[in-house]
Chains A and B, each alone.
Chain A
Amino acid sequence: MANIAKKVSWSGRGDDRGERTPLLNGAEEVKYNNRQISGGSIFHIGRLSTVDLEEEITPEEDIVRSRPKEIPHNEKLLSLKYESLDYDNSENQLFLEEERRMSHMGFGCLEIKRWVICGLIGFLTGLIACFIDIVVENLAGFKYFLVKQNIVKFTEVGGLSISLILWAVLNSAFVMVGAIIVAFIEPIAAGSGIPQIKCYLNGVKVPRVVRLKTLVVKVLGVIFSVAGGLAVGKEGPMIHSGAVVAAGVSQGRSTSLKKDFKMFEYFRRDTEKRDFVSAGAAAGVSAAFGAPVGGVLFSLEEGASFWNQMLTWRIFFASMISTFTLNFFLSIYHKKPGELSSPGLINFGRFDSDIVEYNLYEIPLFIIMGALGGLLGALFNVLNYWLTIFRIRYVHRPCLQVMESMLVAAVTATVSFAMIYFSNDCQPLGPDHNEEYPLQLFCSDGEYNSMATAFFNTPERSVRSLFHNPPGTYNPLTLGVFTLVYFFLAVWTYGLTVSAGVFIPSLLIGAAWGRLFGILLSFIASSQSIWADPGKYALIGAAAQLGGIVRMTLSLTVIMVEATGNVTYGFPIMLVLMTAKIVGDYFAEGLYDIHIKLQSVPFLHWEAPHTSHWLTAREVMSSPVTCFNQVDKVGTIVDVLSNTSTNHNGFPVVVHSTGSDEPGKLCGLILRSQLIVLLKHKVFVERASSRLTQRKLQLKDFRDAYPRFPPIQSIHVSQDERECMMDLTEFMNPTPYTVPQETSLPRVFKLFRALGLRHLVVIDSENMVVGLVSRKDLARYHLGKHGLEELHLAQT
């Protein structure tokens, strides 16, 4: 962290504004800028100067100017590796032809196929959830059985430190496997996957996020990290898994396995795929929490910009199927086939009707708990933010990441063991054995260690026992210590290179302090029997903590209501989540947003930043734009495409009035992927005339290349061919969206967000191309503490 603290401004003005670039400066700034601009060509360096350097000014400073500047990773960057999805349909002539050819029946068939795909998505997601659940249960059961036997053996004869080492080693071993597959095979599978899916639904193409390999690594990673006893849950990854399943099924093929089932070819484009991915995410939520409606609302909340009602109904269908599948297979596993009432992966248990009731005078208490949840959540996020920055900067080598994960696992085991060892909280064994692995240790015979129910268990079971164990099961000290320890463990764990979610740890922390809150309340007012049940407060605390960390609103309320199976708590849970969000937002952003920022993803929020109306498209856009002529030389096109410094994806197609230097009139927009397919099939004007027999290029050829278009380097163009011409008229999108130069940023933003655009051409009054607005141009503006700030583009 020392490097963050040691900031010396390169411009020597000694300001402490960090790495931000002010857009709207004070008077001093203006002078400064004017001075720079008077220097003419050195303006760029002037812009640079507001970026602080790490080191003291050195004589090499001049050399720094000439080469690209390097700064340590921080959250105010936009990475070049992320691109937009092409959600906007290219209505070129091929498309129109295909539509003309398709009969009414054809469209009906498509609709049916969509339903079939959604059903399949639900089914497969449910199966995966079932698989994860069963394997985790068995692996963790095996581990706890082994450790418990060992502890029992050594309690009497001495040598408990050996049990401690055994536990730590087992944990580390499991986590090592999980971390190795993530770090070395598919790093994108790390974490909960919700930020990635959020980005995908937002319209950002996150590389490799919806591949089969990612799914396999994700599923195995989750199994090992949960079995390894980390403070993680298996729910977040389910959402990612559902999304991958959806992306795979809807394409009817797997590029990783090189297998094409020749099905669902019509859906091979971003527009359709994204619809299915949102269905998959919903199915994942639904399988994870047993909350079909919550799943639909999650998709709605995260991907709300592109939505239609028919899609909602289909997504709901997928969610329901997913819950049903999970229930069905779990019922078979639990040897009660046909009993479909067991809810999702996490089973919060049912709240009985007599403890469900709450009273008007409890509402203020709930609100206080919500505020507390918001505060703790903000603290969690801030701590995790610093940790993540440190990890990105210093712990970036895969072997280091694996080591770190193993260390965390070992320390988790150690801390848990120490807690259990030194706890004096003994409780009598209940008749119905709520405790899966009761540990006696130094308790009297017939009693068990109460701390062990919280630590010596999968987090999910601990949550359940906090919700449902009868009053008096935990003493306040145990809960307090547990909350404190688990809070820091969870902060430390999230962001490791293992695939694991943050839902369950949050719920667990919240449930622990919520229960503590309830117990303390009943101490204060011992007469009131309604305050006697701490399970209710555990639930509210869990909701508050989760809301404070992830800051989801509508979907989280519904998920909590559905997962606990009663609507009675709907109102308190909503209140609590609202309070938690308001209080938390005051201090820090939501955890997922923080991680999205730290990944330098060009994420478009719901609205443009306030106070940005004075910015116009003219300032926002990139300029000058690389354009192509309607009929252009192959050589030029290949050169532009293979230019590594400009990684453009969309090229306006123009007509030059009189071959002059000035930009031409806009007549269409063509994408890099389209050009590559054209080059691959050698659709040149000269060829067309010489080979009339050649099959005409169809939309199908573009779909076949999707989604992994070959890089330009792999396409061989001979010297002769370079001289050929290419006619883009047929393939370009003839009516791209355009805006005049004076359009304000919020207007541009709205167009982008609502239509899911990738490129927006900025034109002048003559319909001449002046610039191009892309996602990164918009995403770089954000509202910081000092007003509007601008993010930097960087290579990551």
Chain B
Amino acid sequence: MGLLMKCTFLTSCLFVGWSVTIVKCSTYPPEVRGDGALNAPSPPLDSESPALQARSLGFFYSLSLSSTFPDDLEVNEYCIEMLHVFGQRYVAYANCLVSYARPIKICQNCYTGFNSLVEIYTNISSDQLGPGNVSCHDSLMRSDRLMLLYTLFIKLDEIWTIAGCKQCLNENQDTLSNDTIYFMASLNLSLTCFEKFQGNHSELCKDCKLSYKRLNELYGKMEENQTLCIDIEDAMNMTRRLWSKNFGCSVPREETVPVIAVSCFMLFLPIIFYLSSFLHSEQKKRKLIHPNRAKSSSSLMNIQDKFS
């Protein structure tokens, strides 16, 4: 296919698609088009047409390449539009993720972005025919081995799934669930309490215990119901660390003496048991039995003689 393809490629590049590309170029920003056209850069093109190199190289690339295909392989205008929208939403969502990475609050803040991204992706990947009876699914997603749209989307979707954000949103995934809001409220309650007693840890441990404990219980309940997402887990983790490490409010090891006493008592029992059974129990004796070996005496003697 190599040689023939190249020939068609060159000819169409030079003569046919010129004017069409100009039009397209003015309609769409170049980076979107670049996505579609990147798969066929051709070095011979550059060397054989030095005159064209004089223009802006990247611009020309995209122009000429996308314009070279025959009509039936051409990416439909509607699809290019979709692609554009996808790009914008993608960037917006990724931006949101990054800006809420630490302390992690992605579920609370990025769900709208994610929802719109999912929407456009579902549109693209559905088999529904758009205007002009074309399906963007094939042309945008399955034309090359990279399957860029799919890979890009799947990665972000994976992040969303691992984070478990679905559990923190309501059924339609359009607002935060009541549980989450309630948890955030009680978290704030604890945190304000922590702030109030900043500097006096023993006081803090005593006074904030109630709200902290309630928060902990709430968390435990949500864990059982599997309504946790990364935001809540992280917030709880941080609070716990504050509570245990920074403020040192863990339970202290206090009753060492009773535990040691009971343990010693328990360990003492077997010693008594074995001693008493050794002293009082009757030792088991075995009765020896002498088998009949009428000739064994003489034969044994014979052997002794043999060896001596």
Contacts and interface: CB of A to CB of B under 8 A. Distances in A.
Interface of A: 3, 23-25, 27, 29-30, 33-34, 37, 43-44, 47-48, 51, 68-73, 77, 80, 155-156, 158-161, 164-165, 168, 390, 392-397, 400, 403-404, 407-408, 410-411, 414-415, 417-418, 421, 441-446, 614, 618-619, 621-624, 776-777, 792-796
Given A619-B300, A619-B303, 11 more contacts: A29-B304, A30-B304, A30-B307, A72-B285, A72-B286, A161-B262, A390-B278, A414-B266, A445-B243, A623-B293, A623-B294
Contact of A394 (B245, B278, B300): B278
A445 B250 contact: yes
Given A44-B290, A444-B240, A444-B241, A618 B301 contact: no
Contacts of B301: 33-34, 37
B18 to A, nearest CB: 54
B283 A618 contact: no
Given A37-B301, A411-B270, A795-B289, A72 B284 contact: yes
A618 B299 contact: yes
A417 B262 CA distance: 11
A27 B307 CA distance: 9
Contacts of B255: 158-161
A417 B267 CA distance: 12
B202 interface: no
B288 A622 contact: no
A161 B258 contact: yes
A158 B281 CA distance: 42
22 contacts: A24-B307, A34-B304, A48-B288, A70-B287, A73-B286, A160-B258, A168-B266, A392-B284, A396-B284, A418-B263, A442-B250, A444-B243, A619-B296, A619-B300, A624-B294, A776-B291, A777-B291, A792-B289, A793-B288, A794-B286, A794-B288, A794-B289
A18 B260 CA distance: 43
Which of B240, B254, B255, B263 lies at the interface centre, i.e. has the most chain A CB atoms within 10 A of its CB?
B263
Contacts of B250: 442-445
Contacts of B3: none
B292 A156 contact: no
Contacts of A30: 304-305, 307-308
Contact of B216 (A160, A445, A795): A445
Nearest to A645: B289
Contacts of A621: 293
A407 B304 CA distance: 53
Contacts of B277: 394-395, 400
Contacts of A24: 303, 307
Interface in B227-257: 236-237, 240-241, 243-245, 250-255
Interface residues of B, number: 52
Contact of B287 (A23, A156, A161, A794): A794
A445 B244 contact: yes
B4 interface: no
Nearest to B259: A161
B297 interface: yes
B23 to A, nearest CB: 54
A623 B245 contact: no
A160 B254 CA distance: 10
Given A394-B278, A446-B237, A407 B254 contact: no
A2 B245 CA distance: 55
A621 B299 CA distance: 12
A442 B285 contact: no
B220 to A, nearest CB: 11
Nearest to B299: A619
B252 A442 contact: yes
A69 B259 contact: no
Given A70-B286, A80-B289, A394 B281 contact: yes
Classify the secondary structure of B's interface with A: helix
B240 A446 contact: yes
B273 interface: yes
Which of A168, A445, A618 lies at the interface centre, i.e. has the most chain B CB atoms within 10 A of its CB?
A445
A417 B263 contact: yes
Given A395-B277, A407-B270, A622-B293, A70 B263 contact: no
Contacts of B240: 444-446
A44 B293 CA distance: 10
Given A619-B299, A624-B294, A394 B283 contact: yes
A623 B295 contact: yes
A792 B288 contact: yes
B284 A71 contact: no
A156 B261 CA distance: 20
B213 to A, nearest CB: 9
A400 B288 contact: no
A77 B286 contact: yes
B125 to A, nearest CB: 30
Contacts of B258: 160-161
A72 B283 contact: yes
B251 A71 contact: no
B269 interface: yes
B283 A3 contact: yes
B44 to A, nearest CB: 44
A580 B2 CA distance: 65
Contacts of B290: 44, 47, 793
A432 to B, nearest CB: 12
A442 B284 CA distance: 49
A68 B273 contact: no
A156 B270 contact: no
Nearest to A46: B297
Interface in B162-196: none
A564 B250 CA distance: 40
A168 B267 CA distance: 12
B259 A73 contact: no
A622 B251 contact: no
A468 to B, nearest CB: 21
B269 A393 contact: no
Nearest to B262: A161
A397 B280 CA distance: 12
Contacts of A410: 266, 269
B302 to A, nearest CB: 9
B259 A421 contact: yes
Contacts of A158: 254-255
Nearest to B280: A394
Contacts of B237: 446
A-B pairs, top 6 by smallest CB distance, nearest first, are A444-B244, A70-B285, A445-B240, A414-B266, A794-B286, A161-B258
Contacts of A445: 216, 240, 243-244, 250
A25 B304 contact: yes
Which of A3, A71, A394, A794 lies at the interface centre, i.e. has the most chain B CB atoms within 10 A of its CB?
A394
Contact of A164 (B263, B281, B300, B304): B263
A29 B261 CA distance: 58
A559 to B, nearest CB: 34
A400 B281 contact: yes
Interface string B38-58: 000000000000000000000
B172 to A, nearest CB: 27
Nearest to A51: B288
Contacts of B284: 72-73, 392-394, 396
Contacts of A414: 262-263, 266-267
A68 B241 contact: no
Contacts of B293: 619, 621-623
A393 B288 contact: no
Nearest to B307: A24
A796 B259 CA distance: 44
Contacts of B245: 444
Which of B259, B301, B307 lies at the interface centre, i.e. has the most chain A CB atoms within 10 A of its CB?
B259
Nearest to B292: A622
Contacts of B262: 161, 164-165, 414
Given A33-B300, A623-B294, A795-B289, A418 B259 contact: yes
B283 A393 contact: yes
B202 to A, nearest CB: 17
Contacts of A418: 259-260, 263
